[in-house]
Structure 1
Amino acid sequence: MSHTHEHKGELLNRVRRIAGQVQAVERALESEADCAKTLHLMAAIRGAVNGLMEQFIEAHAREHVAHPDLSDEARAQGVEELLQAIRRYSK
């Protein structure tokens, strides 16, 4: 997937930030932090994961569905992969 290679550094930074946010929730739970603070930390994680997912969906659609050099078979496969990911994500 060339689109992930082109943005590898950016994607890894986003994933590392999410990992740091998850660790913050773990620390909050271990220290019995205020419930509201912990909820805000978890909401931030959800937002960060949503942003990462949006970036991947867009890149996949552009590279594996809308790219003008794709065959009809490759385009159909790209659409199916995208739909499967969206179905799983929306559960």
Structure 2
Amino acid sequence: MGHTIQDKKKLIARVRRIKGQAEALEKALDEEGDCVAVLQQIAAIRGAVNGLMTQVLEGHIREHLGAEGVSAQERLEDVEHVVSALRSYLK
């Protein structure tokens, strides 16, 4: 996955922000914080994870499905992997 290596710093920064958001959510729940603030934090985490998924998926599609010199069989297999990952993600 060359595209994840190229964007490694950006991806790790996103993951760290998500981690911070999850820790803030845990703290709000532990301290019995305001329900609206908890809901907003959950929504923020979901948005952050969606952004991470979008970035990795876009890189994967461009790098693997859109790459020159990929055989039809390899492309078909990769499409199946992407579809499987999307199905799992969207459950």
Q: Same fold (TM over 0.5)?
A: yes
Q: 1-side partners of 2:77 and 2:6: how far apart?
A: 22
Q: Which runs of 5+ in 1 are unaligned?
A: none
Counterpart of 2:26 in structure 1 is 26
Q: Deviations over 1:29-73 (max 9, x none)?
A: 111110000000000000000000111111111111111221112
Counterpart of 2:66 in structure 1 is 66
Secondary structure in structure 2 of the residue aligned to 1:70: coil
Secondary structure in structure 1 of the residue aligned to 2:68: coil
Q: How many residues align?
A: 91
Matching of residues 34-73 of structure 1 within 5 Å:
34-73=34-73
Q: 2-side partners of 1:62 and 1:75: how far apart?
A: 12
Structure 1 vs Structure 2 CA RMSD? 0.7
Residue identity matched to 1:35: C
Higher relative contact order (CA 8 A, sep 6+): 2
Identity of aligned residues (%): 49
Q: Is the 8 A contact 1:64 1:75 kept in 2?
A: yes
Q: Which runs of 5+ in 2 are unaligned?
A: none
Q: 1-side partners of 2:77 and 2:20: how far apart?
A: 35
Q: Deviations over 1:1-21 (max 9, x none)?
A: 110100101100000100000
Secondary structure in structure 2 of the residue aligned to 1:16: helix
Q: 2-side partners of 1:19 and 1:56: how far apart?
A: 17
Q: 1-side partners of 2:62 and 2:78: how far apart?
A: 10
